[in-house]
């Protein structure tokens, strides 16, 4: 990877243009709507006699798209059709419950991006965080005041070491962190599957790969009651948003990180220890992703399973890009994608729109924000687009 490109990437990520961001999200939802309509059975039937009764067709399109996005809204923000107040507010808490690990891991990716490193290894680091936290969580029986911090610390440490190893490899041998983190994601996934079949991690008597339940003293407090998945890790996440902001904008370590991201050669000349900073950046990045893993295993779920990282690793990359790698931006993007995840569950159940539509919308959003000229072109601002391409 060359330095010029790195600069370019950092600039691309940081380039603030809220209008383009909004339009990119809008465009992604529009395309998502088209796909929903296209795959809808009623739409397909009415398309058969489109010219005889075009009204039916357009009504079917409207119903399918409106139905889907209405379900998405009811599943993620406010369920106005619920019978009681608990049912009404539950969607919002689900959104925040999903947003917690996504934002935490997203902050990790953001720290790496700002420092000019491409951490694609969120998945692996989340897995290591979850493994460390889960093991302490179900193996010991301690007072809650030390058990939870101990479990969280174990997860964060495991993930930080796992991430830091990538930084070390880069510093010592020049190994490209993109390739290494991609490969480590798969290694971590296979390792997780393996340990869940050994007595060390597998629940006694279980035939499937699942750990014993986390002891109550190591669980994040579910402050809205046990039927809500939202838990104290939400506040940990908010604290981390502030902490990462402080780290990047106010601390001298963060200054070195950013200097590295802008120009590694100049940083070196200025006396910054590049190798050490590679290790530090990746360790901090991994630690934050690991925290996301602890939030999953000690909070939202109560067991360690092979699917603990779900798609959070990819979500983390997308929220870091959408949030322009700035802590508050990552938080906003994390809540948006958390809402998508939460709402998609209801959308799948009520409207039979497969949950995969989330992946489509998410990846389109990222593709569009990365290519502002394309968005301007789509919304008819093509003269500006032409200028941007040729300039």
Partner 1 sequence: MKRSFKTSIALSVFTLISLWLSVTAPAGTTLFSFNAGKELFAIPDFEIPVAGASWIVFLVLLVVTGFSWWLSIQRKKTPLWLTGIFAFALVQQVLVVLFVGQMFPVTTTLQGSLALAVPLIFGALAGVLSERVGVVNIAIEGQLLAGAFASALITSITHSLTLGLIAAAISGALVAGILAIFSIKYVVDQIIVGVVVNVLVIGLTSFFYSTVMARDLIALNQPERFDQINIPLLSQIPIIGPLLFSQTLIVYLMYAAVAVVYIALFKTRWGLRLRAVGEYPKAADTVGIKVYRTRYISVMLGGALAGLGGAFFTLGAVGSFSKEMTSGAGYIALAALIFGRWNPLLATLAALMFGFAQNLQSVLSIIGSDVPSQFLLMLPYALTIVAVAGLVGKVTGPAATGKPYIKS
Least distance from partner 1 to the Cβ atom of residue 213, Å: 24
Residue 370 beta carbon to partner 1: minimum distance, rounded to whole angstroms: 4
What is the closest distance, in whole angstroms, from the C-beta atom of residue 236 to partner 1 in the complex?
27
State which residue, 83 or 391, has the beta carbon closest to partner 1: 391
CA angle 194, 214, 137 (to 5 degrees): 80
Contact predicate 251/180, CB 8 Å: no
Q: How far is the CB of 214 from partner 1 (least distance, A)?
A: 24
Rounded to the nearest whole angstrom, what is the least distance from the CB of residue 320 to partner 1 in the complex? 10
DSSP-assigned letters across all residues of 343-388: HHHHHHHHH---TTHHHHHHHHHHHHHH-HHHHHHHTT-HHHHHHH
Token pair 């402080």 in the structure block, residue:
246
172 vs 270, beta carbon nearer partner 1: 172
Separation in Å, CA 104 to CA 28, 162, 257, 316, 336: 24, 17, 19, 8, 14
Minimal distance in Å, beta carbon 4 to partner 1?
7
Write the CA distances from 67 to 63, 349, 350, integer angstroms: 6, 12, 9
Per-residue CA distances from 217 to 136, 142, 223, 295, 350 (Å): 11, 7, 14, 14, 37
In angstroms, give the least distance from the CB of 274 to partner 1: 17
Which of 227, 390 has the CB closer to partner 1? 390
Quick one: 295 or 348, whose CB is closer to partner 1? Answer: 348
Q: In the complex, what is the shortest distance from the CB of residue 291 to partner 1, in angstroms, rounded to a whole number?
A: 22
Q: Would you tell me which residues interact with partner 1 (CB under 8 A)?
A: 1-2, 4-5, 8-9, 12, 35, 39-41, 118, 120, 169, 172-176, 178-180, 182-184, 186-187, 190-191, 193-194, 197, 314, 317-318, 321, 352-354, 356-360, 362-364, 366-367, 370-371, 373-374, 389
At its nearest, how many Å lie between partner 1 and the CB of residue 197? Answer: 8
- Our CB check for partner 1 shows the closer of 42 and 217 to be 42
d(CA 173, CA 291): 28
* Closer by beta carbon to partner 1, 189 or else 327: 189
Helix, strand, or coil here: 125?
Answer: helix
Nearest to 134 by CA among 312, 317, 300: 300
Matching residue, tokens 């008597």: 205
- Which of 198, 203, 193 lies closest to 139, judged by CA? 203
Gap between the Cα atoms of 226 and 154, Å rounded? 25
Count the Cβ atoms, other than its own, within 10 Å of residue 104.
33
Kindly tell me which of 342 and 365 has the beta carbon lying closer to partner 1: 365
Structure tokens at 251: 């601390």
Among residues 76, 182, 122, the alpha carbon closest in space to that of 315 is found at 122
* Contact between 155 and 290 (Cβ < 8 Å): yes
Choose between 194 and 223: whose C-beta lies nearer to partner 1. 194
Compare residues 160 and 353 and give the one whose CB is closer to partner 1: 353
């Amino acid at each position: 990877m060359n330095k010029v490109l790195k600069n370019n990437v950092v600039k691309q990520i940081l380039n603030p243009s809220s209008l383009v961001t909004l339009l990119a999200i809008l465009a992604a939802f529009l395309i998502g709507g088209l796909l929903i309509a296209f795959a809808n059975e009623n739409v397909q039937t009415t398309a058969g006699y489109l010219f005889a009764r075009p009204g039916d067709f357009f009504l079917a399109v409207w119903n399918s798209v409106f139905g889907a996005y209405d379900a998405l809204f009811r599943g993620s923000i406010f369920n106005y059709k619920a019978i009681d107040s608990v049912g009404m507010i539950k969607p919002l808490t689900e959104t925040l419950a999903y947003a917690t690990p996504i934002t935490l891991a997203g902050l990790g990716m953001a720290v790496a991006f700002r420092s000019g490193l491409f951490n694609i290894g969120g998945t692996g680091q989340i897995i290591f965080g979850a493994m460390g936290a889960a093991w302490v969580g179900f193996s010991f029986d301690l007072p809650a005041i030390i058990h939870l911090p101990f479990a969280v610390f174990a997860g964060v440490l495991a993930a930080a070491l796992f991430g830091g190893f990538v930084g070390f490899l880069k510093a010592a041998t020049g190994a490209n962190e993109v390739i290494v983190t991609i490969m480590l994601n798969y290694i971590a996934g296979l390792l997780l599957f393996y340990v869940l079949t050994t007595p060390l991690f597998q629940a006694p008597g279980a035939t499937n790969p699942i750990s014993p339940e986390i002891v109550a003293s190591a669980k994040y407090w579910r402050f809205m009651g046990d039927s809500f998945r939202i838990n104290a890790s939400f506040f940990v996440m908010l604290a981390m948003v502030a902490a990462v902001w402080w780290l990047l904008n106010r601390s001298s370590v963060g200054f070195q990180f950013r200097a590295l991201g802008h120009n590694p050669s100049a940083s070196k000349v200025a006396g910054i220890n590049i190798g050490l900073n590679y290790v530090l950046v990746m360790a901090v990045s991994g630690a934050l992703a690991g925290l996301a893993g602890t939030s999953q295993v000690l909070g939202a779920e109560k067991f360690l399973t092979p699917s603990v990282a779900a798609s959070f690793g990819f979500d983390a990359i997308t929220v870091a890009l959408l949030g322009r790698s700035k802590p508050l931006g990552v938080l906003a993007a994390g809540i948006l994608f958390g809402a998508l995840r939460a709402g998609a569950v209801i959308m799948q159940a009520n409207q039979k729109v497969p949950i995969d539509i989330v992946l489509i919308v998410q990846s389109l959003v990222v593709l569009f924000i990365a290519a502002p000229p394309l968005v301007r072109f789509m919304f008819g601002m093509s003269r500006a687009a032409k200028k941007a391409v040729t300039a």
